[in-house]
Structure 1
Amino acid sequence: MTVTSKPAGENPAGMARFPMARADGCPFDPPPALRARQEEAPLAKVGLADGSTPWLVTRYAEQRALLSDPRVSSDITRPGYPSPVPLPADGSPVSFILMDDPEHHRLRRMVTAPFTIRRVEAMRPAVQKIVDGLIDDMLAGPRPVDLVEVFALPVPSLVICELLGVPYDDHDMFQDNSKTIIKRDAAPEQRQAAFGRLAAYLDELMGAKLADPGTDLLSGLAVRVNAGELSRQEAARMGVLLLIAGHETTANMIALGTLALLEHPGQLALLRGTDDPKVVAGAVEELLRYLNITHNGRRRVALEDIEIAGEVIRAGDGLIMANDIGNRDPSVFPDPDRLDLHRDARRHVAFGFGVHQCLGQPLARMELQVVYSTLYRRVPTLRLAVGLDRIPFKHDGAVYGAYELPVTW
């Protein structure tokens, strides 16, 4: 296999550069250089484009240990934090996922309730209706179709809009700006402008919720703003985070998961042939482990000296937990490069670990369970309309996936 021309190679100091390149023809596997480093040692220094040299953590045990260590910070403003993009020059506040406790906990708890398993399960019939409706529309239209455009992106967008209280009619605007924000090679001014447009949009929505709150999540934040627990700016920025995270990650997982299953017909047959919710739930966990679309690593910085795996991480050292290769650690997941829907993959770190693990994981799991248990049974002859080599993959973003997925049936 040849290696793609995405960022790779050695920096002037002789260290491997991060991020690393996937191999051509292997769109589901982490970069070969990540596997080589995992085999050599659990930690190694790597070079970033800005000249910094954080620690790259490649093994599962060390990733979980560091992600749950209180001596490790998620605060992007701390010196040494290996930020994948420059911080806003205007000193704008950052998302609570890039903060430490107690501020992280204070803000996160304000949006936790809608994402509890009980509340999410109550949404399952509505999500099923959305999925069935989109499949109906797809089957009634021409073919081939781009599954990303007609299905993978609309499903989570409709769901998160309903949850937040955002008009779905505005989806083109927020999807376009979201793509710019998470695109790795977008210019800082482009990214800042896109974030500004989304923040202004959410601020306007927040104004409407303040005047006339409903039962949606943004209205719940508006109540807290009126109570003095939260500033209007904080509420709008939380809305931006939830809107982006609520549709981008799941959309990519729907498309990439479908592609992986189409390329593994035996596994697809197992999923298509079951109506057991436990089997479907297990398949979702294995696909999350196998694909791991968050491929930029979980970024942190050490607050104190930490001894781990024979190394000393110094206070101020940056850390990158490469969770895509962590989920392929053979000491935890035997034969890790094999997609096996019967595997018990619940221990994966696709959603992170520790206090900062993904807030929306119950919702993402439920949406994927509905999609994966419905799409392939209703469209049993679903297949790619082009060769795998013609699928445009998102090598240039913080979230991995496919820009387009042409399919027919």
Structure 2
Amino acid sequence: MDNLTKRFLKYISFDTKSDPEKGEQQKPSTEGQLVLAKELKNELEDFGLKAEINAEGFVFAKIPANSDKNLPIIGFISHMDTSPEMYGKIDNPQIINYQGGDIKLNEEKSIKVDEFPYLNKLIGTTLITTRGESLLGADDKAGISAIMNAVEYIVNNPDFKHGEICIAFTPDEEIGTGCDTFDVKKFGADFAYTIDGGILGELEYESFNAADAKITIHGKSIHPGSAKNIMINSITVANEFDRLLGSVRRPEHTEGYEGFFHLLSINGDIETTKMEYIIRDHDRDTFEKMKEEIQNNAEYLNTKYGNIVEVKISDSYYNMGDVIKDHMDIVNYAKQAMENLDIKPLISPIRGGTDGSKLSFMGLPCPNIFTGGMNFHGVYELIPIEHMKKSSKVVLEIIKLVEESK
């Protein structure tokens, strides 16, 4: 078994599920992320590099330049946490020489070709899958594995010329708080790439603008026998609030550059109902109007029922494309690297965000590159080992192209 695969299997055995309830109070949000951080620090030091873990759980390392050219400093970044939606550790993944057909995970669950037709394109690859009880963790331990594999190659091949290279492994990306305290100056790169994408060839430099909206509706509970013209059922008002947003701009009805309102949760009784939405759109003006729409709907209901709706909206991240459009050379490096390796670049907007969504606005332009993983955040997650290896080769090819361009 090759070193990259061994590393990946080791990393996914760490429980690094992040916790949105703790994310604003502590960094990292879970102890397991620190355990993996220490492992990664030790591995980097075994390569002969200076590495450190800071107070927030970030792992930083640098590979000194060995080229006499005046080269830009490149960074590569992946996150250590896995989605809070599901258990974040797996000790017994399946490794399958895939020859086609459905993939049985356990007695109840299978990855079926009719549901996931892209499986037909993976015939002949070696797949790592779950056993239907947890996520796999390729998001983003595949990215960590790809970077570490590239680091190993660089330190073991002194004839491979390069400028200074910065490495970072970050906590709490999945809950959107990880890079709030990322020290861009300390990191020291002129530009960077997150290795955090999906299928082979993905290259992304546009993301959603994102916000959270928390709605609290205060009703008035009266005995139903004498409730006429007095009772205000907060659950009913909550349903009315949701209907005002319409049924079209929802995740299940949108794609590409189309934004949405997504109702994540609704909990309540007659007296109090709480709702939580995420708001997403690639266009900043449309995004701002969507936030205004939430506020306007609340004002309408407050006029109708008498100041019973409270709204709290907080921005999460912005479209990194608004920054990277002025640094398209770094996108072109990644595109050319893929083409040099006979990988077709698949350039499309992210219907989500990455650490790069925040880092780009912090002064570190940061496109996103594929890892090869698929079906993230659930039991159907899988990754072809060959595609993860190609992600690592893209990292090396980008470094090579930058060195040769000067």
TM-score w.r.t. length of structure 1: 0.26
Structure in which a larger fraction of residues adopt helix: 1
TM-score w.r.t. length of structure 2: 0.26
Structure in which a larger fraction of residues adopt strand: 2
